[in-house]
C-alpha cells in the first residue's frame, strides 16, 4: 500500500510537470501543421515535418544553437512518421480532408442554388 501511495504521489508530482509540456507541444505542432495545410491548400508530409521541426526547435531554443539544431532535427524526425501515418489513414479512408472539404462546399453551394 505504501508503494502504491508513493507511485501515486510521483505520478501526480511528475505527471503535472510533463502534462503541460506535452499539451503545449501538441498545441503548437497542430497549429503550425494546420496553418501550413490551410495556407498551401493541401495536406502533405512536409507540413508535418516542418511543424515538428519548428516546435522541436522552439522547445530546445533555450539550450543555445546546438539545442536549436537538435530540436529541429528531432522534431522533423518525429513529424515525418506522424504525417505519413495521417496521410496513409486518409488514403485508406478513401477521401482526404481536402477532398471532403471541397465536396461539402460544393454540396452546400448546390443546395443553396437549388433553394434560390
Domain range for 101 is 65-115
Q: Please state, as a whole number, how many other Cβ atoms lie within 10 Å of the Cβ of residue 54.
A: 21
Q: Which residue, 44, 61, 78, sits at the end of a domain?
A: 61
Q: Residues 1, 57: one domain?
A: yes
Mean pLDDT across 4-11 = 85
* Confidence band of 29 (pLDDT split at 50, 70, 90): very high
Whether 20 shows a pLDDT value over 80: the answer reads yes
Q: Residues 71, 55: one domain?
A: no
Nine-digit cell at 17? 510537470
Q: Residues 3, 22: one domain?
A: yes
Average pLDDT over the chain, rounded to whole?
A: 88
Q: Residues 2, 53: one domain?
A: yes
Residues 47 and 40 sit within 8 Å (Cβ to Cβ) = yes
Q: Residues 8, 52: one domain?
A: yes
- Write the burial class of residue 55 (CB in 10 Å: 0-12 exposed, 13-18 middle, 19+ buried): buried
Q: Residues 57, 21: one domain?
A: yes
Whether 54 shows a pLDDT value over 90: the answer reads yes
Considering its fold, how many domains does the chain have in total? 2
Q: Residues 24, 50: one domain?
A: yes
Amino acid at each position: 500500500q505504501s508503494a502504491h501511495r508513493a507511485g501515486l504521489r510521483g505520478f501526480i508530482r511528475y505527471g503535472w510537470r510533463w502534462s503541460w509540456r506535452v499539451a503545449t507541444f501538441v498545441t503548437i505542432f497542430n497549429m503550425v501543421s494546420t496553418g501550413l495545410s490551410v495556407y498551401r491548400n493541401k495536406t502533405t508530409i512536409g507540413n508535418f515535418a516542418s511543424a515538428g521541426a519548428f516546435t522541436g526547435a522552439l522547445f530546445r531554443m533555450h539550450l543555445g544553437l546546438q539545442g536549436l539544431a537538435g530540436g529541429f532535427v528531432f522534431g522533423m524526425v518525429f513529424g515525418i512518421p506522424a504525417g505519413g501515418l495521417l496521410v496513409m489513414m486518409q488514403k485508406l479512408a478513401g477521401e482526404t480532408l481536402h477532398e471532403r472539404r471541397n465536396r461539402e462546399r460544393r454540396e452546400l453551394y448546390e443546395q443553396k442554388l437549388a433553394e434560390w
